[in-house]
Amino acid sequence: MLVVVSDTHAREEPKLRGRTAEAVRAADLVVHAGDFYREPVLDAFESAARTLRGVYGNNDDAAIRDRLPEVRTVEYAGVRFAVTHRHRSGDTGLVMLGRGRDADAVICGHSHRPRFDDAGGLPILNPGSHAQPRGNRPAHAELEPGARGGEGTDPVASSGLAGRLVTPDGEVFEEFRIDP
């Protein structure tokens, strides 16, 4: 499973609780789309996750900026993601960034608003913030290879990732697919 989080904004610990904590610990890969805030939070995520790939956000301290890139490309289960915290040109800039990196989708943060949008030519996933939702629903994203179908699902037709936006309380409030 791939777990995507963003906008932790903490000083000492990652503020993981409930389903978000379980998902981060169980994931094959965790992507953090920036704004850890202080270096001990990055360290804590690295300890909690098997594999962490992050980018720095606009509120991250110099120590985090020294350790993480502003933009990176991550692949999981045959799907290629361009990962950044934000883009000054909004969704158009995010799509251009993704296309420039030959990505199948873009992961971003910054707004604290969880959303999946595939209307702009390249899917954009923002997991929101699990720790500081700022008036939005607290959330993270979980993505798993293949279809979410049951018995008799065609394995050839089940490439790509089945995703969901999930609250720390375990409520799934949106499901989506990303195909390579």
Give residue-wise pLDDT tens across range 86-130: 998 999 999 999 999 999 999 999 999 999 999 988 999 999 999
Q: Which residue has the tokens 């094959």?
A: 28
| CATH code of the region 2-147+154-178 | 3.60.21.10
Q: Which of 45, 6, 11, 8 is nearest to 27 (CA)?
A: 45
pLDDT digits (tens, 9 = 90+) for 50-93: 999 999 999 999 999 999 999 999 999 999 999 999 998 999 99
Residue 153 has pLDDT above 80, yes or no: no
> What are the residues whose beta carbons fall under 8 Å from the beta carbon of 48, sequence distance 6 or more?
14, 16, 21, 24, 25, 30
The average confidence (pLDDT) of the chain is 94
Apex CA 82: angle with CA 93 and CA 71, to 5°? 80
pLDDT for res 147:
59
The reported pLDDT for the residue numbered 111 is: 97
Q: What is the pLDDT of residue 66?
A: 98
Confidence of residue 148 (pLDDT cuts 50, 70, 90): very low
pLDDT of 158: 58
Pairing verdict, β 140-145 and 124-126: unpaired
Q: What is the DSSP string of the chain?
A: -EEEE----BSSS----HHHHHHHHH-SEEEE-S--BSHHHHHHHHHHSSSEEE---TT--HHHHHHS-SEEEEEETTEEEEEES--TTHHHHHHHHHHHTT-SEEE--SS---EEE-TTSS-EEE---SS--TTSPP-EEEEEES-S--TT--TTTT-SEEEEEE-TT--EEEEEEE--
Q: Is the distance from CB of 27 to CB of 2 less than 8 angstroms?
A: yes
C-alpha–C-alpha distance, residues 112 and 53, integer Å? 19
Whether pTM exceeds 0.85: yes
pLDDT at 6 exceeding the cut of 60: yes
pLDDT at 150: 46
Q: Is the dihedral of CA 94, 98, 104, 110 positive or negative?
A: negative
**For the chain, which residues make up each domain, given as ranges?**
2-147+154-178
